[in-house]
Amino acid sequence: MKPQLSALLVLVLFPLAAYGQSGSINNTLGTGGTFTVKDGTTTFLSLGQSDGYLDVAQSLRLPLTTSSGLGVIFKGADRFIHNYTASGTDGCNTFVGVNAGNFTMSGGGIQASYNTSVGENSLMSITSGYRNSAFGYYALFSNTTGSHNDAFGFYALSSNISGGSNSAFGSDALHSNTTGSSNAAFGSTTLYSNTTGSSNSAFGRNALYSNTTGTYDAAFGYQALFTNTTGYSNSAFGYYALRSNTGNRNSALGDSAGYNLTSGSNNTLIGYKAMPSSATISNEITLGNSSVTSLRCQVTTITALSDARDKRNIKDLPLGLEFLMNVKPRLFSWDQRDWYENGKPDGSKMQPTPSAGFIAQELEEVQRSADAEWLGLVLKSNQDRLEATPGNLLPIMVKAIQDLKHENDQLRDEVRALNKRNERVAELEKLVLALDAKLASK
């Protein structure tokens, strides 16, 4: 307790006039005794010998704290409760906790005002920042000029200096942030490593944990976007979603969706364990995992960009029926390697119902033989798992049908010509028979 306040209480309890002298005053209460200050009917203050408690029956009035020695409650030598108001500022500060707030704030008007902190060393470094709320041990500890920050939890936003409009809820949330602004972190160690990155949102323990300067990222789920450091404009929703991501503009929705993607960008992954074709691929969309057996939608086709104004070197497709005759449609049963712990299929998990389709290696051989790898019938970004794009056969199928139509039209014309010749031959045969009959009658 400060000396001024202590002296005041001594004067109340033990008036100097009663002793007629200055200096130290000692009073001894007997066992179980009580010292009481009261008027005729009301007790204002009492001190019991048995427990040593000082009871204030009415109110304890302290002045507004405008200096380190005015209106402050101390714990030992450390400030504990005060509402320091710097000269020329609005004030309205509340600081509760050992060394919470300080007496060196300055500014004018709204500056250094409307701050609230509860917890040891919370908002300890505040200078001119305003409208900050800190609740927890070392919450917003380093904040000096940052404003409109909300920190709730052990070491939440503890390194923030000038960043503003941040919200951190959870132990060590936004722990390393210094100048980043407009971040929202909800959960233990969310956005833990963020320093200058702004406009990020993280919800869930360790979400965006490693982010340093990445911006406009959104992570919802345990360890979502955990590895991201500088990647920006990523969105991850779900446990482990985009956990290893360092790229940009990736979107993942679902438990573990895209968790193996690293430096790839502009990918979309939807569904449980929806994985890109490779860890570094870009510009892909993946729907579901290897267990998905149906892709359902009200419509049966996907609309694609096809405007002639966006295309050049337009010419007739050289591939048609001859190319298709080398393509081998197959009947097979799925027995995927990733269904087995050792990655070696033995038939024990083979699907009983067969499927129809193509073999990626066979499609690759067909297009290589035709010097037409530009068709892209096989996706080879992951050599350990080749994928087929049979939809790219559609233009060739149309061309083949047109070729067949052309041949059919030619054959029809030839048949018509033959029919006409046959009709003429028949007419000639009739004439010959008629002449034979006349000659025979003579």
Query: What is the helix, strand, coil percentage profile of the chain, to 5?
Result: 20, 15, 65
Task: Give residue 21's pLDDT.
Answer: 53
Task: Give residue 5's pLDDT.
Answer: 42
Q: Where are the beta strands (DSSP E) in 39-93?
A: 43-48, 54-56, 73-75, 78-82
User: CA-CA distance, 183 to 321, in Å (whole number)?
Assistant: 59
List pLDDT tens digits, range 389-440: 999 999 999 999 999 999 999 999 999 999 999 999 998 889 888 888 888 8
Average the pLDDT over 26-46 and give the result: 90
Average the pLDDT over 295-310 and give the result: 91
Task: Give residue 15's pLDDT.
Answer: 47
Q: Which long-range contacts (C-beta less than 8 Å, at least 24 apart) are formed by 157-166?
A: 159/195, 163/198
DSSP string, 173-219: TTTT-SS--S-EEESTTTTTT-SS--S-EEESTTTTTT-SS--S-EE
Percent of the chain with pLDDT over 90: 84
List pLDDT tens digits, range 133-177: 999 999 999 999 999 999 999 999 999 999 999 999 999 999 999
CB atoms within 10 A of CB 326: 13
Average the pLDDT over 179-192 and give the result: 98
Reported pTM: 0.81
Average the pLDDT over 38-65 and give the result: 91
Task: Give residue 70's pLDDT.
Answer: 95
Residue type present at position 154: F
Task: Give residue 6's pLDDT.
Answer: 44
Q: Is pLDDT at 77 greater than 50 in this prediction?
A: yes
Task: Give residue 11's pLDDT.
Answer: 45
Percent of the chain with pLDDT over 70: 95
User: CA-CA distance, 269 to 281, in Å (whole number)?
Assistant: 12
Q: Which long-range contacts (C-beta less than 8 Å, at least 24 apart) are formed by 366-372?
A: 366/323, 366/326, 366/327, 366/328, 369/326, 370/319, 370/323, 370/326, 372/319, 372/323
User: CA-CA distance, 200 to 76, in Å (whole number)?
Assistant: 41
User: CA-CA distance, 319 to 398, in Å (whole number)?
Assistant: 10
User: CA-CA distance, 319 to 324, in Å (whole number)?
Assistant: 8
Largest Cα separation within the chain, whole Å, is: 183
Q: Cα angle vertex 145, ends 143, 149, to 5°?
A: 60
Strand partners, 219: 202, 236
Q: Which two tokens stand for residue 410?
A: 């030619």
Task: Give residue 434's pLDDT.
Answer: 86
Closest by Cα among 326, 211, 216 to 224:
211
